Structure 1
């Protein structure tokens, strides 16, 4: 086994445990999961957000994103509007309910994330953030090329 394999396994296990813990707290306190939160946050952050923008951001299939967006629409948290530049796609917009849900969820995600990483010194978290950003950039560049 290479020296990288145990690191990758640890990274995957840590990600899974962090994701599940944050999602469970968010679901208990706000009634939405972390995946829904992520989509609401991206729709809010990306001007003229389309399903393909979500696909690029979270690296899952168009079908999975489209179904997730359907669920956000059904919940009343976002809506699809006609894209004036491309009639084949829609733009995604948060509804007032979606904006309120996102605003209420952000501090829950932040608090749980902080609690789960409290045992790691801030300088180590900063170094980890830099390392993960570099790894992600490399992986995303490979996907484009």
Structure 2
């Protein structure tokens, strides 16, 4: 993408603007899937990250990074999910300074309840809009952007 003489016509603004608009539109279309199951988008994001992690757990610091929350923000999130019985805190047996957020059986059950509705919405409003080869290229592109802008967001095995 080449810049033009007029900075307001710069195609980089178009790329960033389209990404932001697509994100906003996608979130608004997916929101009913988690809301109808008594979750916020942040709740579902955390539960999914825990559910897809080895041992169904993540260090609190890794969960904070992956959810783009501060340490105090992730503490509040995990506290709320723990009160709901969806997550528990575990101290590392190897490093007593490290605390893990671990998905509980109740949390996994809630995920399994929301996933059919959520996945149908993801298919309708995201993955199903692209033919397989375009979806593969899109996912590769998103990983390139994520890895450069937020490399700490990739999951680590504890």
Q: Could you state the TM-score of these two structures normalised by the residue count of structure 2?
A: 0.79
Within the alignment, does 1:10 sit opposite 2:18 as a pair? Answer: yes
> CA shift at 1:24, angstroms?
2.2
> CA shift at 1:93, angstroms?
1.5
**Alignment partner, residue 95 of structure 2:** 86
CA contact (8 A) 1:24 1:33 kept: no
> CA shift at 1:106, angstroms?
1.9
**CA-atom RMSD in angstroms:** 2.1
**Alignment partner, residue 73 of structure 2:** 64
For 1:113 and 1:94, how far apart are their aligned partners in 2? Answer: 23
**Alignment partner, residue 148 of structure 2:** 138
> CA shift at 1:71, angstroms?
0.9
> CA shift at 1:6, angstroms?
1.3
Within the alignment, does 1:44 sit opposite 2:54 as a pair? Answer: no
Q: Which has the larger radius of gyration?
A: 2
SS of 2:150 mapped into structure 1: helix
For 1:23 and 1:58, how far apart are their aligned partners in 2? Answer: 17
> CA shift at 1:19, angstroms?
1.8
Unaligned runs of 5+ in 2: 1-6, 154-158
For 1:142 and 1:81, how far apart are their aligned partners in 2? Answer: 22
Q: 1:73 to 1:142 in 2, by over 3 A?
A: closer
Please identify, of 128-137 and 19-28, the stretch whose mean Cα deviation from structure 2 is larger: 19-28
Between structures 1 and 2, the one with greater helix share: 1
Q: Could you state the TM-score of these two structures normalised by the residue count of structure 1?
A: 0.85
Within the alignment, does 1:104 sit opposite 2:123 as a pair? Answer: no
For 2:31 and 2:18, how far apart are their aligned partners in 1? Answer: 20
